[in-house]
Amino acid sequence: MKKVSKKFLAVVLVGVLMFCLTACGGGMDMSKVKGDWTLSSIDGKSPADKATELGLPSYALLNNYSIGDKVAISTYDPNSGEVKVSTELSIEATSNGFTATDSNGGKVSFIYDSDKNTLSYSATGANGNAETYVLTKGATDILAAVQAESGASEGASEGGEESYEGGDEEYYEE
């Protein structure tokens, strides 16, 4: 009787282990997060509000994340005046999101919230404290935000003049 019980228990344990490995081993279905995402908040504040709090232009913290086989993070480059990919990270699926790794081996864990359709991660902010960054589906027109900010500050400093250049269009108002 003891031999039968031990064999039965061994079979049950093997079954449980196989179930656990199957449930945890594959990681999340990455098709849920592939595509364009934009930074929507930092510790509950909009990127524009957080940038202003840090004494930066309101567009300084606008980022777009393109997720595919890698994560490509695009930001505004003030030297060129263009939006460029500033960081590219390799990714590995986890049970509830993915881990992104930079070229130096630094890792960031992104958590996917299927109820809110958001991605979030924690990182050390400019103040040295851990901050939570939340991304939502879609991309922000970073260049338009930069142009709007530049036009607003030019207009304020030059007595109400406002200008906009974009694509083949030019707009100038006095």
Pairwise CA distance, residues 37 & 97, whole Å: 14
Domain enclosing residue 118, as ranges: 26-159
Pairwise CA distance, residues 163 & 46, whole Å: 26
Within a domain: 13? no
Pairwise CA distance, residues 80 & 27, whole Å: 39
Within a domain: 167? no
Within a domain: 120? yes
Is the pLDDT higher at 31 or at 8?
A: 31
Share of the chain above pLDDT 70, in %: 72
List the CATH number of the domain containing 150.
2.40.128
Q: Which pLDDT tens digit goes with each residue over 92-124?
A: 999 999 999 999 999 999 999 999 999 999 988
Within a domain: 165? no
Q: What is the pLDDT of residue 128?
A: 84
Number of domains observed in the structure of the chain: 1
Put simply, whether the predicted model's pTM sits higher than 0.75 gets the answer no
